[in-house]
Amino acid sequence: MPYQYLLFDADNTLFDFSEASHLAFAQLLRAEGHDYHETHYATYQAGNELVWREFERGLIDARELRVKRFRLFFERSGLGGDPAVYHQQYMDNLIRATELLSGTLPLLEKLYGRVRMAIITNGLREAQRPRIRKLGLDRYFDHIIVSDEIGSAKPDPAFFDYTFAQLQQPDPERVLVIGDSLSSDIQGGLNYGLDTCWFNPQGKPNEGPVQPRYEVRSIERVWDIVRGAEEEG
């Protein structure tokens, strides 16, 4: 095997985030007695992205992030509620709604025992750990690194310093990063001098500066790359 260690992103790489989050948010609003409209989710998402950017730039901490995204939502939507309560309910709903993506288990079953694997995920501990456990993913992975627990996030090299220390310093030339995000997963791998594989199920164009070594539309094609049978690009 050319690769000794595979570092997988979790959200929208191993399990569904986009649909689960949407569903979790709609359930939350209805349970709190509001009429749910699609514009509400768009409003929440805009604020959520803003607070994650602030978090990644070190402007707010994870405690603030948890409540600020709902505070912003209330300000912008005109609806009212307790941000801490909304955060907790959203988490419960998200954990319940999250499912594996279709190719994940077949791929992990093939890889398991042949190559070492870790999860590297940007997220909150109370969202990431229970979903990974619920979906039975922990048995496949030697290490699970959650940004909230270590105080740095992909693409920051500090996140990869921590990861490499946990993995006992594998040869960087034999480590492959796999994820759906060009700005966190692929950029993070490139910053650290690692090979990268962009999971791009929708075939989105990429004309930007962040160029992965490999690109796959189906996660199961990672198997071909790992066996060294895959052409590049």
The counts of H helices and E strands in the chain are 10, 6
* Options 4-12, 28-36, 170-178, 207-215: segment touching Mg ion (CB under 5 A): 4-12
In angstroms, what is the minimal distance from the CB of 20 to Mg ion? 12
Least distance from Mg ion to the Cβ atom of residue 84, Å: 26
What span, in angstroms and rounded, lies between the C-alpha atoms of 186 and 214?
10
| Residue among 79 and 105 whose Cβ is closer to Mg ion | 105
**Residue 11 lies near Mg ion (rule: CB under 5 A):** yes
Site size for Mg ion (CB under 5 A): 5
Q: What is the largest CA-CA distance in the chain?
A: 55
Look at the alpha carbons of 100, 105, 108, 112 in this order and tell me if their dihedral is positive or negative: positive
Which residues, numbered 134-193, are part of the site for Mg ion (CB under 5 A)? 180-181
Residue 12 near Mg ion by CB under 5 A: yes
* Closer residue to Mg ion (CB): 163 or 181: 181
Q: Among 7, 9, 131, 219, which residue interacts with Mg ion (rule: CB under 5 A)?
A: 9
CB of 195 to Mg ion, least distance (A): 18
**Count of positions (residues) in the chain:** 233
Instruction: Indicate the pairing of strand 175-179 with strand 116-121.
Output: unpaired
193: left (phi over 0), alpha (psi -120 to 50) or beta: left
Binding site for Mg ion (CB under 5 A): 9, 11-12, 180-181
